[in-house]
């Protein structure tokens, strides 16, 4: 990690660059893209420090994002974790079984249950979560007093920075068997109510948690879009006799439309990921009937059951379908004239 620390002072900073500027390479402007003019060697001399700077990050990405792709071969193996403590050695010595893991998966009712739960959660989250940040942004945007606005934003952003463990703990204290709601019900002579372990309402519970945690944060993008609407559009609309609501409908909402469309498309591209940590934390409480999604299915079979080949196969299916969805979603984004690829 020698390259990873930023030099603490200017004196240290100057040492890595041995070539003085006078030699000429630094003065070659990088703006000139005509690589034909400059030889590769000259460009390398000029830019080698920049390349050096990216190496630590590049190394991390190659090791932790690209290298594991090769590990997906266990999906085609009867992987035996007990051959060696070292996973790579185990992979080299485990027998290949072709598509056997995939066959087992497609015959496994638990897998299809997980697929179903994933899709149901995705749709419920899309319908119930998605409109809330838009509405909140419209609300905040209509508040003209800057202080109130700043305080409301500070409060609404806050839960985004809480961990899922904390969010679920808060929900448990509110809606669990010993939570606030049960306590109030009991004190008024009713039975307690444990929403946290009810499989029938689990999808809505998950959505409520997502809304509590991230709906406030979601308004940032919309607020930025709203801030970019020129004020004279509103003035012109008002001159033409449009009231508040008509101005919102004809000026404000059209300004949000590209952002909404883009976020929708990207969300669809990520459809199979429905909140892994959040659901894993509550999977045992609510049972696998409602609480098992694709990601937790992989975790359970691999990490807990040590059936690595099987779990990796399920993960691979999810991964391949996800890539397809992401690419398709981005294609749609491009067709809509949006530059969506770099947006998270």
Restricted to residues 13-32, the positions that interact with other proteins (CB under 8 A) are 13-14, 16-17, 20-21, 26-27, 29-32
Q: Does 104 bind other proteins (CB under 8 A)?
A: no
Q: Does 303 bind other proteins (CB under 8 A)?
A: yes
1-8 long-range contacts, Cβ below 8 Å, gap at least 24? Answer: 1/56, 3/52, 3/53, 3/55, 3/56, 4/56
Least distance from C-beta 145 to other proteins, angstroms? Answer: 5
Least distance from C-beta 53 to other proteins, angstroms? Answer: 3
Name 208's Cβ contacts closer than 8 Å, sequence gap at least 6.
Answer: 171
The one-character DSSP state at 77 is B
Contact 136, 215 (CB under 8 A): yes
CA angle (88, 86, 91) in 5-degree steps: 30
Contact 184, 178 (CB under 8 A): no
Closest of 328, 301, 273, 316 to residue 121, by C-alpha: 273
Q: Which of 133, 275, 291, 315 binds other proteins (CB under 8 A)?
A: 315
Nearer to other proteins, 117 or 172 (CB): 172
How many residues form the binding site for other proteins (CB under 8 A)? 131
Site residues (CB under 8 A) for other proteins, limited to 119-138: 136
Q: Which of 114, 168, 206, 263 binds other proteins (CB under 8 A)?
A: 168
Closest of 259, 237, 240 to residue 250, by C-alpha: 237
Least distance from C-beta 158 to other proteins, angstroms? Answer: 6
Q: Does 178 bind other proteins (CB under 8 A)?
A: yes
Candidates 95-103, 106-114, 118-126, 300-308: pick the segment binding other proteins (CB under 8 A): 300-308
Q: Does 165 bind other proteins (CB under 8 A)?
A: yes
Least distance from C-beta 113 to other proteins, angstroms? Answer: 19
Site residues (CB under 8 A) for other proteins, limited to 223-262: 223-224, 231, 234-235, 238-239, 243-244
Candidates 98-106, 123-131, 143-151, 249-257: pick the segment binding other proteins (CB under 8 A): 143-151
Q: If you write DSSP's letter for every residue of 30-43 in order, what string do you get?
A: TT---TTTS-HHHH
Name the token pair of 245: 């609501």
Closest of 206, 209, 218 to residue 134, by C-alpha: 218
* Residue 33 burial (CB count, 10 A): 8
Site residues (CB under 8 A) for other proteins, limited to 33-92: 33, 40, 43-44, 46-47, 49-54, 56-58, 60-72, 74, 85-91
Least distance from C-beta 124 to other proteins, angstroms? Answer: 19
Q: Is 96 helix (H, G, I), strand (E, B) or coil?
A: strand
Name 173's Cβ contacts closer than 8 Å, sequence gap at least 6.
Answer: 179, 180
Least distance from C-beta 225 to other proteins, angstroms? Answer: 10
Q: How far apart are CA 20 and CA 13, in angstroms?
A: 13
Least distance from C-beta 83 to other proteins, angstroms? Answer: 12
Cα→Cα distances 30→20, 22, 46, 72, Å: 17, 17, 9, 41
Q: Does 204 bind other proteins (CB under 8 A)?
A: no
Nearer to other proteins, 203 or 221 (CB): 221
Q: Which of 95, 98, 161, 188 binds other proteins (CB under 8 A)?
A: 161
């Amino acid at each position: 990690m020698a390259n990873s620390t930023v030099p603490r002072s200017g004196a240290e900073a100057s040492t890595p660059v041995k070539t003085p500027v006078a030699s000429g390479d630094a003065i070659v402007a990088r703006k000139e893209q005509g690589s034909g003019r400059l030889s590769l060697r000259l460009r390398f001399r000029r830019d080698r420090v920049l390349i050096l700077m990216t190496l630590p990050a590049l190394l991390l990405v190659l090791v932790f994002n690209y290298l594991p792709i090769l590990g997906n071969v266990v999906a085609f193996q009867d992987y035996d974790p007990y051959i060696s403590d070292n996973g790579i050695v185990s992979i080299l010595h485990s027998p290949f079984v072709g598509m056997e893991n995939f066959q087992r998966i497609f015959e496994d009712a638990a897998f299809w249950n997980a697929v179903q739960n994933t899709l149901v959660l995705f749709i419920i989250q899309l319908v119930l979560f998605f409109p809330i940040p838009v509405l909140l942004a419209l609300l905040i945007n209509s508040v003209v007093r800057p202080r109130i606005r700043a305080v409301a934003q500070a409060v609404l952003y806050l839960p985004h920075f809480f961990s899922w463990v904390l969010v679920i703990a808060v929900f448990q204290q509110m809606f669990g068997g010993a939570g606030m709601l049960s306590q109030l019900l009991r004190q008024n002579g009713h039975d307690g109510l444990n929403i946290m372990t009810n499989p029938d309402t689990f999808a809505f519970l998950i959505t409520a948690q997502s809304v509590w945690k991230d709906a406030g944060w979601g308004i940032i993008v919309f607020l930025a879009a709203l801030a970019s609407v020129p004020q004279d559009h509103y003035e012109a609309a008002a001159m033409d006799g449009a009231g508040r609501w008509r101005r919102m409908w004809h000026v404000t909402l059209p300004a949000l439309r590209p952002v909404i469309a883009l976020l929708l498309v990207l969300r669809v591209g990520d459809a199979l990921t429905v909140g892994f940590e959040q659901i894993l934390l509550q999977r045992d409480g609510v049972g696998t009937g409602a609480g098992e999604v694709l990601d937790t299915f992989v975790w359970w079979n691999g990490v807990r059951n040590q059936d690595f080949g099987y779990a990796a196969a399920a993960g691979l299916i999810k991964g391949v379908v996800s890539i397809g969805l992401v690419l398709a979603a981005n294609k749609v984004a491009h067709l809509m004239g949006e530059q969506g690829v770099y947006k998270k």
